[in-house]
Amino acid sequence: MKFSCTQENLNIGLSVVSHIANRNINLPILGNVLIKAEESMLRFMSTNLEVAVSCAVRGKIEEGGEFTVPSRLFSDYANLLPKERVDVSDDGNSLSVSCGQYKTKLAGMPASEFPLIPKVSSDTTFIVSVADFRRAVSQVQFAVAPNESRPEISGVLFRFDASSGSPLLTLAATDSYRLAERLVSIAEVQGSLEEAVSVIVPARTVSEVVRILGVFKDNIEGVSGLEISVTDGQIKFLYNSVELVSRTIEGKYPDYQQLIPDRFATEIVVSRDELVRAVKASSLFSRSGLNDIHFNFVEDQPIKLNSMNSQTGEQSVEIDGDTSGQKNDITVNFKYFLDGVGNIEAERVLIQMNDGMSPCVLKPVTDDGRSDYLYIVMPIRQ
């Protein structure tokens, strides 16, 4: 194998794929990146057996071939090279890299030892806006369960549906204490979508997709968006020349829709900024470990927040809001509450509840009354 390319292309290819490679005592090859030189393209690939990433960049190929070298080492080294032409060749045991005054040899392993990258073939592909996808992920992923004691909630639910007339991607995440849901318009469906398709995608996979999209800071000409394909047990994300294939999580995602009542006893509309400020002030006097603050809602009266800590003191505050329905109160974890309010992209927040023992629903207040974001926080039972 012998090729040359720009330092920029080499750096992009390696930075995209090197992040998931990791050391494995039983399979040291998993810490390597596979480099393939074919025709006028260079392809870099890495895998941890759960996720596989490949990225193609342009280069001048003198001799085709393939070889593997330590992923992180090569990526770190390439990032430090001057922005000049990089010449690369292998002798079967090592990879020689030359760029200006920089020359090095990286010990590697034969490509024959590298695991096969799975192929995902699906009759249907969904294309979504990169900007919308990245924003939607940021609004839900924080609610994923931090451990895998319940595997079905250790990932993000992806639900593709066209029952509403226009195809939508629903992203949802929960840790059983709170839940976040975000709707994303699907720009194009290649194939057919006769019935809804749901998969649970590992949180690390979703983070890796967002990280890779961040490598390409500008929109790429000719690329319509992020392509997503789903098959049994696998999901594929394709953007420009980058392909990520991941296993999905087996199991059934909780039917959280049944938690959302059709009617609410109390509804409150309040300024988001005023609400955040009041919650943060009350949080200073919440009890350590519980992080509890108390809300009191009465029609035609200001919203009351209070908290008390036997060691530090107590605090109360009133803020303006429009409360309708019956008198109500609820105690919540201020951290969970702020996570939801902080991800609402509107000047006003709608709070809906039935009583202090039932879930509290937060939504943005929009001019047309429609909402693409929903957040549910469970109360602290007294």
The mean per-residue pLDDT over the stretch 287-315 comes to 95
**Which of the residue ranges 22-36, 67-81, 123-137 would you say has the lowest mean pLDDT?**
22-36
Q: What is the pLDDT of residue 52?
A: 95
Dihedrals phi, psi of 14, to nearest 5 degrees: -75, -40
Residue 23 pLDDT > 80, yes or no?
A: no
CB atoms within 10 A of CB 303: 21
Model confidence at 26, in pLDDT bands (50, 70, 90)? confident
The mean per-residue pLDDT over the stretch 226-243 comes to 93
The mean per-residue pLDDT over the stretch 296-322 comes to 95
Cα–Cα distance for residue pair 48/50, rounded to 1 Å: 5
132-169 burial code (b ≥16 CB/10 A, e <16): bbeebbebbbbbbbeeeeeebbbbbbbbbbbeeeebbb
Q: Strand 328-333's sheet: what is its strand order? A: 313-319, 303-309, 292-297, 328-333
Residue 340 pLDDT > 70, yes or no?
A: yes
Q: What is the pLDDT of residue 65?
A: 95
The mean per-residue pLDDT over the stretch 212-221 comes to 77
CB of 365 within 8 A of CB of 276? no
Q: What is the mean pLDDT of the chain?
A: 93
Cα–Cα distance for residue pair 156/137, rounded to 1 Å: 9
The mean per-residue pLDDT over the stretch 271-289 comes to 96
Q: What is the DSSP string of 199-267?
A: EEEEHHHHHHHHHHHHHS-SPPTT--SEEEEEETTEEEEEETTEEEEEEPBPS----GGGGS-SS-SEE
Model confidence at 212, in pLDDT bands (50, 70, 90)? very high
Indicate the fold that domain 261-377 takes in CATH: DNA Polymerase III; Chain A, domain 2 (3.10.150)
Cα–Cα distance for residue pair 109/324, rounded to 1 Å: 69
Q: Can 125-247 and 261-377 be said to share one CATH topology? A: yes
HEC string of 288-317 equals CCCCEEEEEECCCCCEEEEEEECCCEEEEE
Q: What is the pLDDT of residue 121?
A: 83
Model confidence at 301, in pLDDT bands (50, 70, 90)? very high
Cα–Cα distance for residue pair 239/219, rounded to 1 Å: 11
pLDDT tens digits for 156-184? 999 999 877 789 999 999 999 999 999 99
Indicate the fold that domain 125-247 takes in CATH: DNA Polymerase III; Chain A, domain 2 (3.10.150)
Model confidence at 219, in pLDDT bands (50, 70, 90)? low
DSSP assignment letter at 149: S
The mean per-residue pLDDT over the stretch 26-39 comes to 92
| Cα 277–Cα 342–Cα 310 angle in degrees, nearest 5 | 45
Residue 218 pLDDT > 70, yes or no?
A: no
CA atoms within 13 A on the CB side of 338: 16
Cα–Cα distance for residue pair 369/375, rounded to 1 Å: 16
Model confidence at 21, in pLDDT bands (50, 70, 90)? confident
Cα–Cα distance for residue pair 130/215, rounded to 1 Å: 12
The mean per-residue pLDDT over the stretch 75-89 comes to 96
Residue 337 pLDDT > 90, yes or no?
A: yes
The mean per-residue pLDDT over the stretch 27-55 comes to 93
What class does CATH assign to 2-113? alpha beta
pLDDT tens digits for 107-150? 999 999 999 887 888 889 999 999 999 999 999 999 999 888 89
Higher pLDDT, 321 or 39: 321
Listed by start position, the domains of the chain span: 2-113, 125-247, 261-377
Give me the amino acid identity at 341: V
Q: What is the pLDDT of residue 259?
A: 82
Residue 221 pLDDT > 70, yes or no?
A: no
pLDDT tens digits for 342-379? 999 999 999 999 999 999 999 999 888 788 999 999 99
